[in-house]
Structure 1
């Protein structure tokens, strides 16, 4: 049994008058991680008539994806991308910044990379 910590935490935060969904990705994500997270995400989106959800995604401790998990991530973007308005991605390093730029190019929501949460929250509140 592996002792490597990995997974996705989903939550809600408030900054000023704005509420937004939070994701924290840790370790190398697996298909099983998405099997647990996707129903929570879908339940949250289902409760909103015309969702325009802002997201704060912390990937600073993300080590990557297994191939099937990367496919799961792409499917979420395709199936639910229109529910999101802005995604602030907090991470470290050029590779994570590059991943955020790719997300911005190929998704209907506005995605931007930050190296700290304060700047990310400020952008979400604009």
Structure 2
């Protein structure tokens, strides 16, 4: 499940994610990405993972399609969680994108928000 968080920053998509992300969850994100790109900005992300289990197969496929279409449109990505595999997933994301990606333990979520909100 994906629950949008409003951090009132026009180029930032922030969400809490839990359970498994589905194709429908990913399709909710796509228009948000386009809205930011159309304003001439790179898209920054803040994802707070709480009891996050990964993706459904269709959800994973939809995420791959969206990301491959927009790799050059992404800026910073902050992943916040409390599991080692989530940190590894963030590192894998960093390897495959030109974005600046950082993982933060959940106890440092305020620092993650500050980092992703800082330009430069």
Gaps of 5+ in 1: 1-6
Distance 2:43 2:6 in 1: 11
Paired position in structure 1 for 2:23: 31
Alpha-carbon offset, residue 89 of structure 1: 0.6
Q: Is the 8 A contact 1:12 1:19 kept in 2?
A: no
TM-score using structure 1 length: 0.77
Paired position in structure 2 for 1:3: none
TM-score using structure 2 length: 0.81
Paired position in structure 2 for 1:53: 43
Structure 1 residue 72 corresponds to structure 2 residue 62: yes
What is the Cα-based RMSD across aligned positions, in Å?
Answer: 2.2
Query: Please, which moves more after superposition, 78-87 or 29-38?
Result: 29-38
Structure 1 residue 87 corresponds to structure 2 residue 81: no
Q: Is the 8 A contact 2:36 2:42 kept in 1?
A: no
Paired position in structure 2 for 1:13: 7
